[in-house]
Structure 1
């Protein structure tokens, strides 16, 4: 790969991460037909943890991992309780109650939620573009959740939509707090999964989900743990480190929900609703407006 420029390498790594993320909704949809959200999270967390620890071992950073585990166990437990424990439990509940195409589309509004939550947490100010972007995104959410029947306001599944929107709040909250995290990114992520594992096991035991396993969803859970929670992070992090134009790499994320729709129809047997396409288009327009405004502001600085 040395024959490629760093920016080209960054785009390749970024595309790899986006391709993996685009398959996640399909993997969730298939796996949740056999496993409960808690069972799926338990397997995926364990697989991801093994992958991340193995990666750190290959890099010779296990001693550093143990050092940070002793120094920052409280923050590791706190971050792990938010992500992956709470975030994925809520997100998987959304996927368990909504069609995957709807859950994943709504989940992509987390960037808008982050902008609004940054006001009280980071003392940032909103621009007009943020309000326009939010209007477009949440109109898309409304269109998806009512299956296009906006006038009647008859929601197809209020509980599922609530879970999906709540997941955006948790994810945005996690990333806002993450800006103050002093741990190296890969070590921090590994510690999050380490300290989340006992929480997931205890929760599984209390809810009686350590028994009656359907092995039909096992490989899907392994796939999610290895690729969605593990490898995709490594690829994306590598892409951001190599590029001299972070916004160019970040724009690749717009491909993920579009590809996800294709994989859901082809491999999960989920018919794509017109309301999802219209709503997703509104959400992507909103995200584009937000990204364009940020990029314009950075160019002026």
Structure 2
């Protein structure tokens, strides 16, 4: 019986036929293993991140900021790190804040959960716990982003009138009765309007808010287009993706000496480098395989 002799595969064929499960396994290992090692990656904060941080550090105890929290767990890898760093800074500075959302109906609860986590960590570290209604209020979800932002710009109290939040161990009360809104007559009475988003709500905010400075926290893929707003002076600070989070955490080391500044940015930044390194390696590998295949064909 004749035997079929299989032609010997060349290096190009072997490189081009690496099983996909192997590549996925390598990717999982490359991104997960670094999470178990506390290795600080050298970092130079970009100007827009530094401007964002410097602006926050000018805030005084009792100042107020308005926050649009338009992210959910779908972008938790980036947005939660941004939000956590923002909360740490505001809580340590004693700044009061009000949070609304026009991006997703889940966003207010996601923000509330994250605030509770950070507030508890601050309390466990011996610092003051942030109290709902007294130190911050959750204004809820507003489905019409364009109309809501016009209302905020023109008459912030009328826009939020009738919204209720929960004081500790008390029934819901109108948010305008909160100390957060004491003395607030216009959106201009908030030192900044901060937008944490993974969607176009940042653009809608720029189009409609004219009476108070804006700063954005966006996902990595949004950085190139959003940076244009920073360079043109339409926003005064920008934090983008994991790099932006790591920038804030790097700056917080000197801004809050003796306080824990490591968060998701520090945890994920090394993994990001490994993932990018793997991407570059596989691109090079693919090009080498194509070169060898072409050379063999000739």
What's the TM-score once normalised by structure 2's chain length?
0.33
Higher relative contact order (CA 8 A, sep 6+): 1
Tell which structure's C-alpha radius of gyration is larger.
2
Structure with the bigger percentage of helix: 1
What's the TM-score once normalised by structure 1's chain length?
0.33
Structure with the bigger percentage of strand: 2
